[in-house]
A and B are shown apart, each in its own frame.
Chain A
Amino acid sequence: MAEDEKPKARQGWLARIAPGVRRLVSSRRETPDNLWVKCPDTGEMLYRPDLEAAKWVTPSGRHMRIGSQLRFSYTFDHGRYRLINLPKTPDDPLGFAHGKPYREVLASARKATGQNDAMAAATGEVGGVPCVILVQDFAFMGASLGTAAGEAFLAAADEAVKKKRPLVMFAASGGARMQEGALSLMQMARSTLAIQRLREARLPYVVVLTDPTYGGVTASYAMLGDVQLAEVGAAIGFSGRRVIEQTIREVLPAGFQTAEFQMDRGMVDQVVTREDLPVILGSVLRTLMMGRARLKAA
């Protein structure tokens, strides 16, 4: 529900994403400005080519938010993958025109990101194991869950079942897309049904929680993985910080709702660095798929 994002949201979706990614998507000019990215933690100016070489992990260890293309190229072996075509869904099913009209918000998000919506899917190999990967891009309307994302999830799960491949979900979201009302809520049930198809086919469904994952996404497919991984430092929760603080009238401690917090409380199997992720993911998928093959052989 993007509740944690409220204070910054007035400046539009661009301001919500990390400054580095913001420059990456908002400016195509080769200005000197483009060459330096400010570390959100230390304020240090970082040389962009260095940051790119470090997969957008700052020297202080902050895993900056990245889009689907970078995620695919970092995760699939040799950065090789094939995009999966996603179904087209109607825009603005409710005619939501209050505040900034939904159609306009969608149009500007599309223009800025070059994506149709927040979810992208691709197929390739990780550690030699063929799999389907879904990525939610927070730069697109806070990766909120609407019908487009719901249909994308179904399409990717269907592709995984058809090709007998595991599904890996890189979750990131502020929550439900309120401009689609209860249709957005329904995607929680629909994605959960798609996961049942994977379960019935004994195909692994692995979730990687990335920064940030909240609301209806956490309360559905992002918490239903056979194995749950999380990227270092990712904020993960149901209600946003601000809502909780308003409810309890206290300021929450630092570290509340981080990936590490969730692992300590039993919601995540492992917190992993971006660097280690492909190897760990490959190991998990290989072992599970070997188990599946032995079952099928028996």
Chain B
Amino acid sequence: MAGPFLEFERPIAELESKIEELSQLAADGGPGGLMAEIEALRTRAREMRIEAYAGLDAWQKTQIARHPERPHFVDYVATLIEEFVELRGDRSFGDDQALMGGLGRFRGIPVMVMGHEKGHDTASRLKHNFGAARPEGYRKATRLMNLAEQFGLPVLSFVDTGGAYPGVGSEERGVAEAIARSTERCLTLGTPMIAVITGEGMSGGAIGIAAANKVLILEHGIYAVISPEGCASILMRDRNLAEDMAKAMKITAEDLIRFKIVDKIIPEPPGGAHQDPVATMMAVGDAVEAELKALLKLSPDGLRKQRADRFMAIRAG
């Protein structure tokens, strides 16, 4: 299996390490019939994984959504975008590598692509600030959307953040205003915009680049007004109750589609996106392509209207 296993995967991980041992034994010329047993155990492990992933609760999904081996923005760009040219900086203060973006072509269609990047090892996680964007990230996003508007480029947005960065500099440079303007720019775009929640989409830091014509979510992605930990800390005064809050806030794809907060759920391979990143990214590409082709038929005003109608239709009951 890929990467570190999650707590609920322990029995599967144990079985897999047993299979590993037996395989070693068979390779060293162990007793006959071993191969058949190994094969049976492999089948059992696969079934266990499918079973475990069929009935995941909100907290388990939270862990999968944050799995370090899950495909990230840079992976999606490398897999789905041709001739990507990164565009950096907000032209006002600096560049924020927690929210990246640039020009490229998606299956032949010229696009602007942007998204949160969490990084994949210690050095890159620090560089990308664990996907927690500062005001410059959102002002860059606004700038890139302006450019997209100017050249009629659809905007593809990949959402994966625990929230905007809560630091002194963020506050001093108006992170709230930067998010508000970025959200506003999404909503006024005259070109198609598709947002995909690939991992976690937490709080204003997510909606700042997710106020799109279509909002797609991966099967084990989560989308919420605040992280379960933050919610537990504020409402319950105990971060350890994050698991309860994850369940109470209705953050899973199935919950969100019921409220029309997301439009489509993209299935993940058995065991989650990290088990087969390429298949996951191709599935995302297919889903985005289908939505994009439909949206490209709409006029700029038609796109703005569809987007406004979409958000206005989201009601509590």
Contacts and interface: CB of A to CB of B under 8 A. Distances in A.
A192 B247 CA distance: 28
Interface in B265-315: 308, 311-312, 314-315
B211 interface: yes
Given A181-B224, A219-B176, A189 B168 contact: no
B64 interface: no
Contact of B251 (A89, A90, A181): A181
A116 to B, nearest CB: 14
Contact of A1 (B230, B255, B311, B317): B230
Given A178-B231, A185-B203, A244-B171, A224 B180 contact: yes
Contacts of A182: 223-225, 249-251, 256, 259, 261
Contact of B204 (A147, A237, A238, A243): A238
Contact of B166 (A10, A224, A239): A239
Interface string A248-285: 10001000110000100111000000000000000000
Contacts of A184: 225
Contact of A94 (B206, B207, B248): B248
A253 B172 CA distance: 13
A216 B316 contact: no
Contacts of B247: 98
B245 interface: yes
A262 to B, nearest CB: 8
A124 interface: no
Contacts of A189: 183, 186-187, 207, 211, 311
A63 B149 CA distance: 44
Contacts of B208: 219
Contacts of B23: none
Contacts of A181: 224-225, 248-251, 255
B177 interface: yes
B168 A190 contact: no
A183 B173 contact: no
Interface string A5-28: 010011000000000000000000
A154 B207 CA distance: 19
A8 B284 CA distance: 45
* Chain B at the A interface: SS class: helix
Classify chain A: how many residues form its interface, as a range: 35 or more
A220 B308 contact: no
B176 to A, nearest CB: 4
Given A176-B226, A189-B207, A10 B171 contact: no
A6 B237 CA distance: 7
Contacts of B251: 181-182
A190 B226 CA distance: 18
B314 A186 contact: yes
Given A238-B164, A256-B171, A265-B174, A188 B183 contact: yes
Contact of B171 (A223, A224, A239): A239
Given A182-B225, A239-B166, A93 B317 contact: yes
Contact of B167 (A1, A183, A215, A244): A244
A219 B171 CA distance: 11
A193 interface: yes
Contacts of B203: 1, 176, 185, 216
Nearest to A199: B188
B233 interface: yes
18 contacts: A1-B203, A89-B317, A90-B317, A93-B317, A178-B249, A182-B251, A182-B261, A192-B211, A193-B311, A193-B312, A196-B187, A219-B179, A220-B204, A223-B177, A237-B176, A238-B170, A239-B170, A267-B174
Interface of B: 164-168, 170-177, 179-181, 183-184, 186-188, 203-204, 206-208, 211, 223-226, 230-231, 233-237, 241, 244-245, 247-251, 255-256, 259, 261, 308, 311-312, 314-317
Given A183-B316, A256-B171, A265-B173, 6 more contacts: A98-B247, A193-B311, A220-B204, A223-B174, A224-B180, A237-B171
